[in-house]
Amino acid sequence: MSLARAVRSRQLSPVELAEAYLRRVDRHDPQLNAFVWRNDEDVLRAAKEAERAVMSGDELPPFHGVPIPVKDLNSVAGQPNTYGSAGTSDAPSEETDLSVERLLDAGFLLMGRTNTPEMGPMSVTENRRYGVTHNPWDPRFSPGGSSGGAAAAVAAGLAPLAQASDGGGSIRMPSSACGLVGLKPSRGRVPMRVPAWEHSATDGAITRHVEDAAAVLDVMSTPDLLGWYHAPVPHRPFADEVGRDAGRLRIGLLLSAPTGVPVDEECVAAATSLARTLEGLGHEVTPVTPRFFSQEAAQAYIELVIPSALHLVSYERPELAEPYLQELRALALTRNIAEYARGMALLHRESREVVAQWGRDFDVLLTPTMACTPPPVGTVVQQKNADPTGFRLTETQMISFTFFANLTGLPAISLPVHRTAAGLPVGAQLVGGPFDEATLIRLAASVEPLYAWTTAVPDGLR
């Protein structure tokens, strides 16, 4: 928002802004591989048009002239959308996703496309078409996934914020790994033409500032009256929740992973740090042991929803897909619609019992964002290709605290409150009650001044 204000007040021109970020992409992205496609000429042309609008005194939208990259799972008319796959076409898309339309309406300049794992169901950002995206804090490690290209771009200062999406933690995991703010909206908050992954996935953004997370949610969440449903309209703009008193809340602290895997001490340290800070602000923080989904329900999502969703994208050459995706696509064809219907019914029933704990047992749930620190690049995908349907510890640790917010549709936010001894960021997560992004934004804004995340920049990238 600070850049948008500078543009509106003519302290900064959209052209200067676009040129500055494009120079940083030129300089730093060869080492990071955050971007997979660039449209520099289009960005500069749009920036010049934005500058003329500023000088003419026209009424300007809230993010007028601010550049933002789009994740390579989201479509923009005239841009390729390869879904990070070597087996798909790079022909220009014919339509623009609803969430991206809203970014354009808000005045953003679409600046390139960011890397993603093929088709999205992966917790790191590596694929055969574009290669590995590296963590700006230490290129030996992953920025997480699937919005790892988006997070790497923001953390490295290649973009002020980035469009992203989340189907099991894909906004929050990269935000944790890269030291950023990652807000996953509620189910139905951000419109999608076809709600992905049985209505568990959502579009959103990765930002450095809570104010930006709130303001971009405002513009992305304009209801789509043609869709089957949409989230309740908030009482006030989300941006107005920044600085508003959250009251005294009951915050449940969960340090053990719902999946039963071990939790790294650094991840525990992140959650306990935020717990102490919130206690210091007057909130009641109490250890809790919530009920989550049964193994049967979780397997329905993993073995039915995700494999089936992989058939919604057309492959030109499916034999070029990652081996784990080829196996998952084949798995979908061995299951029947009766199994799918039973699995979805079970998810719906159990979700009601999980969500009922918010407001009854606690107001907000506090957890580590991940159960492990960012893994080394080149490890997680290899493990999944070697055993696509088996148990993989690192991948399970990465999604252990995030996946249930997608299945229930609850809003959640990752905040960068801790660093390892080696300097890698580690996030803590707050999960709000149904459609209650407002409380998460109030809490996040209240702790932001007490941590140094808004000014933290990796060495060599200042």
The set of catalytic residues is 71, 146, 170
Residue 8: how many other CB atoms lie within 10 Å: 16
What is the rounded distance in angstroms from the CA atom of residue 125 to the CA atom of residue 455?
A: 25
Phi, psi of 460 (to 5 degrees): 85, 0
CA distance 241 to 437: 9
> How crowded is the C-beta side of 265, counted as CA atoms within 13 Å?
2
Contact in structure between 157 and 461 (CB atoms under 8 Å): yes
Quickly count: other Cβ atoms within 10 Å of residue 207's Cβ: 25
**Token couple for 75:** 């479509």
Alpha-carbon distance of 205 to 444, in angstroms, equals 15
| Alpha helices (runs of H) in 250-388, residue ranges in sequence order | 265-280, 295-300, 306-309, 323-332, 337-355, 380-386
CB proximity list for 377: less than 8 A, separation 6 or greater: 124, 126, 132, 134, 135, 139, 140, 141, 142
Residue 60 identity: L
Reading across the β-sheet that carries 202-207, which strands appear in turn?
Answer: 162-166, 202-207, 181-184, 412-419, 425-431, 364-368, 250-253, 284-287
Q: Does the bond joining 146 to the residue before it have cis omega, within 30 degrees of 0?
A: yes
Whole-angstrom distance, CA of residue 144 vs CA of residue 190: 23
Give the relative orientation of helices 210-220 and 98-105 as an angle to the nearest 10 degrees: 110
Task: Give the chain's end-to-end CA distance (angstroms, integer).
Answer: 20
DSSP assignment of 217-267: HHHHT---TTSS--PPPPSS-GGGGTT----S-EEEE--S-TT-----HHH
Is residue 6 packed enough to be buried (19+ CB in 10 Å), middle (13-18) or exposed (0-12)? middle
Beta-carbon count within 10 A of 359 CB: 12
Give φ, ψ of 301 to 5 degrees.
-70, -45
Residue type, 177: A
